[in-house]
Amino acid sequence: MQGKIIIFSAPSGAGKTTIVKHLLQVNPLLAFSISACTRDKRGRTEENGKDYYFITPEEFKQKIAKDEFVEWEEVYEGAFYGTLKSEIERIWESGKHVILDVDVKGGLSIKHFYKERALAVFVKPPSIEELAKRLQARNTDSASSISSRVFKAEFEMKFEDQFDKVIVNDNLEEACSKAEKLVNEFLNAEPAIV
Ligand SMILES: Nc1ncnc2c1ncn2[C@@H]1O[C@H](COP(=O)(O)OP(=O)(O)OP(=O)(O)O)[C@@H](O)[C@H]1O
Ligand SMILES: Nc1nc2c(ncn2[C@@H]2O[C@H](COP(=O)(O)O)[C@@H](O)[C@H]2O)c(=O)[nH]1
């Protein structure tokens, strides 16, 4: 089987993690690519090696120097996130397809790298106001972190046209069912020639 890559990108708070978790539950052919990141682990809600590989900025720099990333970004000031080549290989070797949850710039870099082998999906919030409300209700970020995420969201919304598909995440159930359909169509299409 030729492994494929499905990228979900969106401004923070649009709901991509929620949709990706749903897809992982319903589709056993998918496996999540765990990114490396330098931000602190969120208390008891996150696990090293499950949500992220939490590493130091020095370790991150070493990985850049050793060319271990497909892409990496300083997603927020001082917080680096990167997609590891070893994760993609690990998942393909296990006979599954890769699914990723990355920021908008990172998503476009991965699409550019893997071309037809990748499906890039932009998850769009119904509005910036709703996105801010969701971030507040999630209660995982400080007020200043929420402000910078909302500020960045306004810029990221300009990139939706560069993605293969767009899902508006207003009603979560409908967004999940559209995501399931898009993923199934992509996985059932002729294998990409690479
Ligand atoms: N359609 C929806 N309606 C209302 N709330 C939603 C909807 N989709 C997701 N949420 C909630 O909004 C919050 C943000 O969702 P989520 O964490 O999935 O966003 P995200 O895009 O992955 O953000 P980040 O990039 O910061 O990880 C969560 O609390 C989630 O439960
Ligand atoms: N460019 C990349 N972005 C990534 C990667 N892994 C996660 N992310 C994105 O970072 C933000 C912040 O996430 P949070 O967990 O701190 O809320 C979010 O948009 C993720 O999608 C990656 O490897 N590369």
DSSP 68-128: -EEEEEEEETTEEEEEEHHHHHHHHHTT-EEEEEE-HHHHHHHHHHHGGGEEEEEEE-S-H
For residue 65, how far is its CA from the centre of ligand 1 (angstroms)?
A: 33
Tens of pLDDT, residue by residue over 71-128, are 999 998 889 999 999 999 999 999 999 999 999 999 999 999 999 999 999 999 999 9
Q: Specify the ligand 2 atom closest to the Cα of 8.
A: 21
Is 83 a domain residue? yes
Instruction: Band the pLDDT of 2: cuts 50, 70, 90.
Output: confident
Is 40 a domain residue? yes
Tens of pLDDT, residue by residue over 145-156, are 899 999 999 999
| 3-class DSSP assignment, residue 45 | coil
Verdict on whether the full-model pTM lies above 0.90:
yes
Q: Specify the ligand 1 atom closest to the Cα of 170.
A: 1
Terminal-to-terminal C-alpha distance of the chain: 13
Overall average pLDDT of the 173-182 stretch: 98
Q: Specify the ligand 2 atom closest to the Cα of 12.
A: 19
Q: How many other CB atoms are there within 10 angstroms of residue 163's CB atom?
A: 22
For residue 18, how far is its CA from the centre of ligand 1 (angstroms)?
A: 6
Whether 44 contacts 137, CB under 8 Å: no
| pLDDT in the model for residue 28 | 97
Q: Is 131 left (phi over 0), alpha (psi -120 to 50) or beta?
A: alpha
What integer best gives the mean pLDDT of the chain? 95
Instruction: Band the pLDDT of 194: cuts 50, 70, 90.
Output: low
Residue 3 has pLDDT above 90, yes or no: yes
Radius of gyration of the chain, Cα coordinates, nearest whole angstrom? 16
Is 149 a domain residue? yes
Tens of pLDDT, residue by residue over 125-142, are 999 999 999 999 999 889
Q: Which domain holds residue 151?
A: 5-188
Domains contained in the chain, number: 1
| pLDDT in the model for residue 42 | 86
Query: Which sign, positive or negative, has the C-alpha torsion 64, 68, 73, 76?
Result: negative
CB environment 70-79: b (16+ within 10 A), e (fewer): bbbbebbeee
For residue 70, how far is its CA from the centre of ligand 2 (angstroms)?
A: 14
CATH classification at residue 27: 3.40.50.300
Is 101 a domain residue? yes
More confident residue, 190 or 38: 38
| pLDDT in the model for residue 193 | 52
Overall average pLDDT of the 172-187 stretch: 98
Q: For a substitution probing ligand 2, which of 75, 101, 142, 169 has the most ligand atoms within 8 Å of its CB? A: 75
Is 135 a domain residue? yes
User: Binding-site residues for ATP, please?
Assistant: 10-17
Residue whose CA lies nearest to ligand 2 atom number 13: 12
| pLDDT in the model for residue 62 | 98
Is 171 a domain residue? yes
| pLDDT in the model for residue 191 | 65
Query: Token pair for residue 48?
Result: 């090293």
Is 194 a domain residue? no
Q: What is the C-alpha to C-alpha distance for residues 96 and 94, in angstroms, rounded to an integer?
A: 6
User: Of all residues in the chain, what percent carry a pLDDT higher than 90?
Assistant: 90
